[in-house]
A and B are shown apart, each in its own frame.
Chain A
Amino acid sequence: MRHIISLLMENEAGALSRVAGLFSARGYNIESLTVAPTEDETLSRMTIVTRGSDAVIEQIQKQLNKLIEVVAVVDLTDGDHLERELMLVKVRAQGEAREELKRMTDIFRGRIIDVSDKTYTIELTGAGSKLDSFLQAIDRNLILETVRTGASGIGRGDRILKL
Chain B
Amino acid sequence: MELTGAEIAIKCLQEEGVEYVFGYPGGAVLFIYDALFNQEQVKHVLVRHEQAAVHAADGYSRSTDKVGVALVTSGPGVTNAITGIATAYMDSIPMVVISGQVSSSLIGEDAFQEVDAVGISRPCVKHNFLVKDAKDIASTLKKAFYLAKSGRPGPVLVDIPKDVSNQKAEYSYPATVNIRSYHPEKHGDVTQIKRAAQLLVEAKRPMIYAGGGVVLADAAKPLTDLVRLLGAPCTNTLMGLGGFPATDKQFVGMLGMHGTYEANMAMQNCDVLLAVGARFDDRVIGNVAHFGSVPRKIIHIDIDPASISKRVPVDVPIVGDVAHVLGDLLAVLHSSKQKPDAASLETWWKQIGEWRSRNSLKYKYSDEVIKPQYVIEKLYEITRGEAFVTSDVGQHQMFSAQYYKFDQPRRWINSGGLGTMGFGLPAAMGVQLAHPGATVACVTGEGSIQMNIQELSTCKQFRLPIKIIALNNRYLGMVRQWQEFFHGNRYSESYMDALPDFVKLAEAYGHVGIRIERPSDVEGALREAFARKDELVFLDFRTDPTENVFPMVPGGKGLSEVILAEDM
A and B interact physically: yes
* A residues lining the B interface (CB < 8 Å): 9-10, 14, 17-18, 21, 25, 55, 58-59, 62-63, 65-66, 68-72, 163
CB distance from A70 to the nearest CB of B (A): 6
- The interface stretch among B301-309, B335-343, B521-529 is B301-309
**Distance in Å: Cβ of A26 to nearest Cβ of chain B:** 10
Assess A59 versus B306: contact at CB under 8 Å? Given A14-B118, A18-B122, A21-B123.
yes
Residue B486 interfacial (CB < 8 Å): no
Q: Are B122 and A68 in contact (CB under 8 A)?
A: no
User: Please, could you name 16 A-B residue pairs with CB atoms under 8 Å apart, sorted by A?
Assistant: A10-B181, A14-B130, A17-B122, A21-B122, A21-B123, A62-B305, A62-B306, A66-B304, A68-B126, A68-B127, A68-B147, A68-B181, A70-B181, A71-B180, A72-B181, A163-B180
B488 touches A (CB below 8 Å):
no
Output the nearest chain A residue to B122 by Cβ-Cβ distance. A21
Number of interface residues of B (CB under 8 A): 18
Which residues on B are within 8 Å of A, measured CB to CB? 118-119, 122-123, 126-127, 130, 147, 179-182, 304-306, 309-310, 313
Q: How far is the CB of B128 from chain A (nearest CB, A)?
A: 8
B437 → A minimal CB distance (Å): 39
* A68 contact from B119, B182, B309, B310, Cβ within 8 A: B182
Residues of B within 8 A of A55 (CB): 309, 313
Q: How far is the CB of B384 from chain A (nearest CB, A)?
A: 42
Given A58-B309, A68-B147, 10 further pairs, Cβ under 8 A: A14-B130, A59-B310, A62-B305, A63-B306, A66-B304, A66-B306, A69-B181, A71-B180, A72-B181, A163-B180
Check A65/B305 contact, CB under 8 A, given A71-B180, A71-B181, A163-B180.
yes
Chain B positions within 8 Å of A14 at CB level: 118, 130
Q: Given known contacts A68-B179, A71-B180, is B123 in contact with A25 (CB within 8 Å)?
A: yes
Min CB gap A44→B, angstroms: 12
Total A-B pairs, Cβ < 8 A: 34
For B305, give the chain A residue with the smallest CB separation. A62
Q: Give the distance in Å from the alpha carbon of A85 to the alpha carbon of B180 in the complex.
A: 31
Bound Cα distance A10, B181 (Å)? 9
Give the distance to chain B from A14, nearest Cβ to Cβ, in Å: 6
Cα separation A69 to B126 with both chains bound (whole Å): 11
A131 shortest CB reach to chain B, Å = 33
Closest-by-CB residue of A relative to B306 is A62
- Most chain B CB within 10 A, of A17, A25, A62, A163, is at A62
Chain B residue numbers with a CB within 8 Å of A10 are 181
Q: Smallest Cβ distance from B537 to chain A, in angstroms?
A: 43
Considering the chains assembled together, what is the distance between the CA atoms of A163 and B127 in angstroms? 22
Min CB distance B208 to A, Å, is 24
- A95 and B35 CA atoms in complex are apart in Å by 77
B126, B180, B305, B306: residue with the most chain A Cβ atoms closer than 10 Å: B306
Nearest-Cβ distance from residue B213 to partner chain A, whole angstroms? 15
In the assembled complex, which residues on chain B have CB atoms less than 8 Å from the CB atom of A70?
Answer: 181
Q: Which residues of B contact A58 (CB under 8 A)?
A: 309
Name B179's closest neighbour in chain A (CB-CB). A68
- Collect the chain B residues with CB atoms within 8 Å of residue A59's CB: 306, 310
The residue in chain A whose Cβ has the minimal distance to the Cβ of B124 is A25
Question: Which A residue's beta carbon lies closest to that of B313?
Answer: A55
* Chain B residues with CB below 8 A from A68, complex form: 126-127, 147, 179, 181-182
Closest CB-CB distance, B279 to chain A, in whole Å? 13
Cα distance A109–B438 when bound, in Å? Answer: 78
Whole-angstrom distance between the Cβ of A3 and the nearest chain B Cβ: 17
Chain B: minimal CB distance from A106 (Å):
46
Closest Cβ of chain B to A25, distance in Å, is 5
